[in-house]
Amino acid sequence: MFDAKELYAKLSRADAGFYTLDTCHTIAAKLDRIAELKQRRNAVILAHNYQRPEIFEIADYIGDSLGLSLQAAEVKTAEAIVFCGVHFMAETAKVVNPGRKVIHPNRQAGCSLADMADEVDLAVRIKDLRRQFDDLGIVCYVNTTAAVKALSDACCTSANAIEVIAAMPNRNILFLPDCNLGRYAAQRLPEKNVILWDGFCAVHQEIEPASVEAIRAAYPGLKVLAHPECRDDVVRLADAALSTAGMVKYAQNSPAQMFLAVTECGLSDLLAIQVPNKQFFRACKICRFMKMITLDDVISSLENLQPEIVLDEGVRKGAERSIRRMFELTVKEKIPPTLLNEID
């Protein structure tokens, strides 16, 4: 049973204006219902770092998209996976968990970045570029559809994009869809010709240097952590450019007491809850897609086991191949067991 007072003490650290004791009584009742349904359905719930704070309370695992998908693959007993994140993340969970029922609680929770690159445009772009570069390699960010992953040579995350591109045997690399992350990697790999796709995350693109500079000036000693999906002029202001999972680890392990997380606001909520002895400031934007998933959506998805992610098996295998290639290029000894088998 969830206790409203305990929830209030925790959630109000993320947003004292919204999470009142009354709202936490309502939340507690819904969390109890989810806990009951989760047990009945033998389900595991995954929550991305940008989700609403109350979603964190019922998650079995919290993290970034690929990490969550791979974690779910290690949970052998669950029959269903409920992925609280945007659509491409639930697709990725299905890619690496083909034998499980994967549920995405709200079909409307898409991703502006993933939508900037579809498989039709990518196929045309690859054909055009191969006329110029006979050694062209395709690296896609994990923030893409399964169909785009299936056309790519390797997938990458924000944490390992530089490592993946560096390890590719090709000198000429088409990187998609995020031009900011691609530029960040290219600047550190002058030996590679990184061709950037014209895409970006609308949330990170809106964050401007002035807001970061103002907060840093007001709080001497503050550590600025920026996601590499941010614009180059924002990333240059950071003490560290990190993935969302990297930011959590940095804040937990750093002796610093004040941090500015320059990314989607949900991460600041998570940090305020998980690291209560430190202070977190915001130069962030809200992703409306991430915030679409509610406790009511989770209840409905567990009651009906819908909406389910269904992928064409050829697309799924192609996407799995590009994810597997990422591990082969980086840390071979850490390839998840689910990806060890030879892929057709």
The answer on 106 and 144 residing in a single domain is no
pLDDT in tens, 43-75: 999 999 999 999 999 999 998 877 887 787 777
Same domain, 36 and 163: no
Q: Are residues 196 and 335 in the same domain?
A: yes
| Same domain (yes/no): 232, 248 | yes
Asked, for residue 27, whether it belongs to a domain, the answer is yes
pLDDT of residue 206: 93
Overall number of domains in the chain: 3
How far apart (Å, rounded) are the C-alpha atoms in residues 97 and 91?
10
Whether 322 is covered by a domain: the verdict is yes
> Per the confidence metrics, is the pTM higher than 0.85?
yes
Q: Is residue 344 part of a domain?
A: no
**Which residue type sits at 341?**
N
Same-domain status, 184 and 120 = yes
Read off the pLDDT of residues 235-281 as tens digits, 9 standing for 90 and up. Answer: 999 999 999 889 999 999 999 999 999 999 999 899 989 899 999 99
Query: Looking at the structure, do residues 23 and 63 belong to the same domain, yes or no?
Result: yes
Q: Give per-residue pLDDT as tens, 170-179.
A: 999 999 999 9
Residue 105 lies in a domain: yes
pLDDT, tens digit, for every residue of 137-157? Answer: 999 999 999 999 999 999 999
Residues 201-225 pLDDT 10s: 999 999 999 999 999 999 999 999 9
Provide, for the chain, the percentages of residues in helix, strand and coil under a 3-state DSSP scheme, each rounded to the nearest 5: 50, 15, 35
Residues 96 and 237 in one domain: no
- Give the Å distances, CA to CA, from 66 to 39, 176, 266, 324: 24, 17, 18, 12
The pLDDT value given to residue 64: 84
Domain that holds residue 186: 114-201+312-339
Q: What is the CATH number of the domain that holds 80?
A: 3.40.50.10800
Q: Do 11 and 101 share a domain, yes or no?
A: yes
Alpha-carbon span 244 to 63, nearest angstrom = 8
Check whether residue 193 and residue 323 sit in a common domain.
yes
The answer to whether 276 and 13 are in contact (CB under 8 A) is yes
pLDDT of 324 strictly over 80? yes
* Judgement on whether residues 11 and 54 belong to the same structural domain of the protein: yes
Rounded Cα distance between 191 and 172, Å, is 10
Q: What are phi and psi of 206, to 5 degrees?
A: -80, -15
Per cent of the chain over pLDDT 70 is: 96
**What is the enclosing helix (H) or strand (E) of 262?**
strand 258-262
pLDDT of residue 342: 35
Same domain for 156 and 79 = no
Residues 82 and 123 in one domain: no
In-domain check, residue 186: yes
